[in-house]
Amino acid sequence: MAASITPRIVPNLWFNSEAAEAAEFYTSVFPNSRIVRTSYYPANAPMPEGTVLTVDFELDGQRFTALNGGADIPFTDALSLLVNCADQQEVDYYWEALSAGGKEVQCGWLADKYGLSWQIVPEGLDDVLAGDDADAVGRAFTAMLGMTKLDIAALRAAREGS
């Protein structure tokens, strides 16, 4: 049996009581994902004995921990998870999956049904919003401000002035 390697940095997501449900949801959305381990509260803990304490899971190889901490501490937009998408089809897929039951925001941002913020970003966005042509960048940026889900073709067209 190979020794397991613990990643150096693991985002720890605080849930009131939905850690297992959220981990199952996220692993169903992303390919190459899995639940790694689940731990439970022991007797004499802040939550009832046997309640899920943590769920370690991987999303496409990135390790996360979901914690049932109670205390109603909500997620905020101060932290978001960015999903780099290869094309518009991936943008559409992740947007639909993660926004279901949540809230569409602006400029490719959404909050999922647990309140966690995500940015769903198409490949090439950096190129559309950068460069020496300030007018072209400005047109693309203005177009992006009018979008919820990002449309890379529309952003490129705005950049070109068409």
Q: Are 54 and 67 in contact (CB under 8 A)?
A: yes
The yes-or-no verdict on residue 150 having pLDDT over 80 is: yes
The yes-or-no verdict on residue 6 having pLDDT over 90 is: no
Q: Assign residue 134 a region: left if phi > 0, alpha if psi is -120 to 50, beta otherwise? A: alpha
For residues 124-153, give the mean pLDDT. Answer: 96
Looking at residue 4, what is its pLDDT?
66
Residue 64 corresponds to which amino acid? F
Structural domains of the chain sorted by starting position, each given as residue range(s) with its CATH number in brackets: 1-71 (3.30.720.100), 74-162 (3.10.180.10)
Please provide the average confidence, as pLDDT, over all residues in the chain.
Answer: 95
Residue 154 corresponds to which amino acid? A
SS3 55: strand
CA 87, chain centre distance (Å):
17
| Residues in a beta bridge with 82 | 119
CA angle 7, 8, 12 (to 5 degrees): 80
SS3 157: helix
Interval 81-108: pLDDT, tens: 999 999 999 999 999 999 999 999 999 9
Q: Are 82 and 60 in contact (CB under 8 A)?
A: no
Looking at residue 29, what is its pLDDT?
98
The reported pTM is 0.91
SS3 122: strand
Interval 32-80: pLDDT, tens: 999 999 999 999 998 999 999 999 999 999 999 999 999 889 999 999 9
Looking at the chain, the whole-number percentage of residues with pLDDT higher than 70 is 97
Looking at residue 1, what is its pLDDT?
52
Looking at the chain, the whole-number percentage of residues with pLDDT higher than 90 is 92
Q: Strands 80-85, 117-122: parallel, antiparallel or unpaired by DSSP?
A: parallel
